[in-house]
Amino acid sequence: MTIKRYLPVGFLVVLVAAVFYLHLDQYLSLETLRAHRETLRDGVAAYGVLGGLGFVALYAVVVALSLPGGAVMTISGGFLFGSWLGGGLSMIGATIGATLLFIAARSAVGDGLRRRGGPFLDRMAAGFQRNAFNYLLFLRLVPAFPFWAVNLVPGLLNVGLTPFVVATAIGIIPGSLAYAALGAGLGTVFDNGGTITLAGVFSPTLLAALTGLGLLALLPVVISHFRRT
């Protein structure tokens, strides 16, 4: 194997080590947003488009490193840029970060993990590759699966880049808009001294709707299966 194949993984490993060595992960919290909200808003107002691009870049890094801060980033996007723009910037950043991690999973490290998976992973890969887009869309829509895992597993199963990117971009729209909408109203909560919890974002109704959309995404797979039998 060439050194070039190890570069994506090596780069991510170095970044992860730097983040935890400098304790930067502790800043991905709503309390940090509350404490520095005026400074962040002033920065966004001062830098305009560059502020938005910086937010996208930071979001991509958070996702690529699988740091537990994606939801906080999306809420922050809504707080700083509003529901629609904040949600859109979050979707772009999340998709870029997920793609970077996906590419890393297809590198030399991914080869090793695939070999350890053996026949089971091979059988799973065969089904996944036939209906990659539908499976990925289901996994993205239903918020029961860890985001980082859905970034890694398709890379191990040799899913194509295009279906991965498209399914990711579409599938994260509902969740991103829900978190961004929460962030857009966060200023009032902070002003009143209130608190919010991430668990309170998804109501039973919203969860049921997302699950229903996810099942619809699998409908073509079910139809195809019955046609083959």
Residues 134-159 have pLDDT tens digits of 888 888 888 777 888 888 888 877 78
Q: pTM value?
A: 0.79
The segment with the largest mean pLDDT, out of 19-28, 64-73, 118-127, is 64-73
In the predicted model, is pLDDT for residue 19 greater than 50?
A: no
pLDDT over threshold 70, residue 203: no
Report the pLDDT averaged over residues 102-108.
77
* Token pair listed for 37: 């909200």
Per-residue model confidence (pLDDT) at position 152: 82
Which residue in 27, 41, 5 sits closest to 183, CA to CA? 41
In this predicted structure, the answer to whether residue 43 has a pLDDT above a threshold of 60 is yes
Q: What is the pLDDT of residue 175?
A: 86
Per-residue model confidence as pLDDT tens digits over 212-226: 766 666 665 555 555
Q: Mean pLDDT across the stretch 35-62?
A: 86
Residue 209 has φ and ψ, to the nearest 5°, of -65, -45
Q: Which is higher by pLDDT, 164 or 25?
A: 164
Measured in residues, the chain has a length of 229
Q: What is the mean pLDDT of residues 50-74?
A: 86
Is pLDDT of 36 > 60?
yes
